[in-house]
Amino acid sequence: MPGNGAVTRSTLRQQIADALRDEVLAGRLQPGRAFTVKEIAEQYGVSATPVREALVDLSAQGILEADQHRGFSVPEYSLDDFRGMIEARSLVTDGMFEALIAGGHQAFKDPEDARTAATLATVRRRGEEAQRAANAGDLTVLIGYDLRFWRELSALFGNPYLADFLHRLRVQSWVCAVQHLRRLSEPRGALWCGHAALVDALAGQDFAGARAIVTECNEHSLALIERLAAG
């Protein structure tokens, strides 16, 4: 059928993008690591077109950097970059909570609303998985659940542009942080794990408390990365 080739290419594109994203977020592709479309195509045994599309997608997300002449590379974010990401995250989430404190969003006005309650329950389960991974020191699992947690939580605010922007910031934050976190000899107990408390605060319409939890998360993350970067 005429559409089969496009579907296959799209599926390959997503599979390659997912695989490379996982490699970067796991810290297996180190900052500064460069590669070409040809190299990745040969590694996965596929044509260049879906590889190029996947790499462009990852560049748009800030996971990779594109260079017209040298191909693609893993970003070499500095500590100042991480500080900027945390500041940007804070500005976004502070704006969300200011809006909730001022008048609330429709999704949070009725704590008994079945759809909101079901979504919060799902997000809380993501948070519980993230907490278990943090307590176990499993950084790879933590990153996956943390990103899904924030993606689904921010979607409740009803603004897809805001949710996409915050997701991009959090992905970039992890790309920057993972190079330092992989140096932790014992990550158990060192990683932030207040996800469930944040959901509980939102479910209870304690928006000021939720804002304080997010502020603590950002401060914890920044202090940990600064400490690790200092050696």
Domain range annotation of the chain: 4-73, 79-229
CB crowding 182-201: b at 16 or more within 10 Å, else e: eeeeebeebbbbbbbbbbbb
205: left (phi over 0), alpha (psi -120 to 50) or beta: left
Give the C-alpha distances (Å, rounded to integers) separating 18 from 23, 26, 191.
Answer: 9, 12, 24
Pick the CATH number of 4-73 from 3.40.50.150, 1.20.1250.20, 1.10.340.30, 1.10.10.10: 1.10.10.10
pLDDT per residue, tens digit, the chain (231 aa), is 334 444 455 688 999 999 999 999 888 888 888 989 999 999 989 989 999 999 999 998 889 999 877 789 999 899 999 999 999 999 999 888 887 777 666 666 665 677 778 888 899 999 999 999 999 989 989 999 999 999 998 888 878 898 999 999 999 999 999 989 988 888 888 899 999 999 999 888 888 899 999 999 999 999 999 999 987
Strands (E), the chain: 34-35, 65-67, 71-73
- Which of the following CATH numbers is that of domain 79-229: 1.25.40, 1.10.3470, 1.20.120, 1.10.10? 1.20.120
